């Protein structure tokens, strides 16, 4: 598998040989940002940053919220490509992507079906483990089950089976919203309540100590390759505040890993990207434990693109100009993406 960083995308320049699917003018891209998920503010910031970078590379960009005016706007505009820079439900669960394809417009990034698989942390963890990756032992429990069986008995079974500490998180969600690290049995009930504020199903996994890294993957048309891993060091939990407000986190780009470990985290991210059927870009969150074992935690089909986000940091660490890289992603998508609904595979 290819694990070397992508060579920096060249600055856009006129080409005498047109690429099929790519217009012979500046591409017109509709960036979708906002929506009504808990991650609306992050999505708006990501969308603005993507739009600025694309404009700097000569792309014609319009930014659209996900609201009652979206379908009319896309129908009238008929952009060459739609880039969903959406985080959280609807943005990453495939539903907005389904609507875009219903309108007959091509997408940048993963299609709706694979997005649904990646959006469910428990399904994604199950599939990557079948592909040979290591992931912390976990259970996924709906809120209704606690009411039916009694919370005390369920919580006791969790501690007895998984031990402590454990990480509690919404089984579908992002930006560390509703995530808690539980060290004591007395704190588990509170963590479950906080988790269920962001979703009706909780994933509880055995906590792993080690180096936290994020590995982004891009595909500019010649196959998926890994960007340099980013190491994350915090003064506490890597929660929503730490992720999006500068000062609480120190990033190392590239991560302070041995050559062998760096190659392994890149391999894991690529296996996750390919085994889940992801397209064009993704970011995998991993932990390297004290024995050097790489544990897959989750994957993002719509990585954050804010000034503190990990995907842009990885791209810049690889020597990319963001505008040129994003334009290359646009052009690769235009050259490859079919227009219309994803076909249902034959049995």
Around Cβ 34, how many Cβ atoms within 10 Å? Answer: 22
Instruction: Determine whether 298 is an active site residue.
Output: yes
Whether 244 is a known active-site residue: answer yes
Pairing verdict, β 210-219 and 230-234: antiparallel
Out of 34, 35, 37, 39, which one is annotated catalytic?
39
d(CA 325, CA 281): 11
Active site residue 283: yes
Selected catalytic residue, list 298, 309, 327, 333: 298
Please tell me which residue in 45, 116, 280, 283 is annotated as part of the active site. Answer: 283
- C-alpha radius of gyration, the chain, whole number: 20
Q: Which of 238, 240, 244, 326 is catalytic?
A: 244
Beta-strand relationship, 28-32 and 60-64: parallel
Q: Are 331 and 27 in contact (CB under 8 A)?
A: yes
- Determine whether 300 is an active site residue: yes
Can you tell me the distance from the alpha carbon of 56 to that of 26, in angstroms, rounded to the nearest whole number? 12
How would you class 225 by CB atoms within 10 Å of its CB: exposed for 0-12, middle for 13-18, buried for 19 or more? buried
Q: Indicate which residue of 35, 94, 174, 304 is catalytic.
A: 304
Residue 175 falls in the annotated catalytic set: yes
Helix (H) or strand (E) holding 129: helix 121-130
Report the distance separating Cα 6 and Cα 315, nearest Å.
Answer: 9
Overall size of the chain counted in residues: 347
Distance CA 239, CA 309 (A): 13
Contacts of 36 (CB under 8 A, 6+ apart): 66, 90
Q: Of the listed 57, 122, 175, 328, which one is catalytic?
A: 175
Structure tokens at 181: 């690290």
Catalytic annotation, pick one of 92, 205, 266, 285: 285
Rounded CA-CA distance 161/140 in Å is 13
Q: What is the DSSP code (8-state) at residue 197? A: T
Q: Which of 37, 171, 282, 300 is catalytic?
A: 300
39 in catalytic set: yes
What's the CA gap between 127 and 301, in Å, rounded? 15
Alpha carbon 226 to chain centroid distance? 14
User: In DSSP terms, which residues pair with 166 in a beta bridge?
Assistant: 182, 206
- The set of catalytic residues is 39, 175, 244, 283, 285, 298, 300, 304
């Amino acid at each position: 598998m290819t694990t070397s960083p992508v060579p920096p995308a060249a600055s856009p320049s006129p080409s005498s040989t047109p690429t099929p699917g790519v217009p012979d003018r500046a591409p017109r891209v509709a960036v979708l940002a906002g929506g009504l998920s808990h991650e609306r503010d992050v999505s708006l910031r990501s969308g603005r940053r993507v739009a600025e970078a694309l404009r700097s590379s000569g792309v014609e960009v319009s930014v659209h919220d996900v609201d009652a005016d979206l379908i009319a706007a896309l129908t009238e505009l008929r952009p060459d490509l739609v880039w969903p820079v959406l985080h959280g439900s609807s943005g990453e669960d495939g539903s907005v992507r389904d609507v875009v394809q219903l309108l007959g417009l091509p997408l940048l990034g993963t299609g709706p079906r694979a997005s649904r698989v990646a959006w469910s942390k428990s399904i994604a963890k199950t599939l990557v483990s079948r592909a040979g990756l290591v992931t912390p032992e976990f259970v996924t429990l709906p809120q209704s089950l606690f009411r039916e069986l009694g919370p005390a008995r369920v919580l006791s079974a969790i501690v007895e089976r998984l031990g402590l500490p454990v990480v509690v998180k919404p089984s579908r969600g992002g930006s560390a919203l509703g995530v808690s690290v539980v060290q004591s049995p007395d704190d588990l009930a509170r963590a479950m309540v906080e988790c269920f504020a962001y979703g009706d199903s909780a994933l509880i996994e055995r906590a792993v100590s080690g180096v936290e890294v994020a590995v982004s993957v891009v595909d500019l048309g010649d196959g998926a390759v890994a960007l340099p891993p980013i190491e994350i060091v915090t003064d506490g939990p890597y929660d929503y505040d730490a992720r999006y407000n500068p000062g609480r986190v120190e990033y190392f780009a590239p991560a302070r890993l041995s050559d062998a470990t760096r190659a392994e985290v890149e391999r894991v991210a690529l296996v996750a990207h390919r085994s889940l059927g992801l397209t064009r870009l993704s970011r995998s969150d991993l932990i390297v434990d004290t024995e050097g074992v790489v544990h897959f935690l989750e994957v993002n089909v719509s990585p954050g693109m804010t000034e503190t986000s990990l995907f842009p940091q990885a791209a810049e660490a690889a020597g990319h100009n963001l505008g040129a890289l994003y334009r290359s992603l646009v052009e690769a998508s235009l050259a490859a993406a079919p227009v219309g609904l994803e076909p249902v595979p034959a049995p």
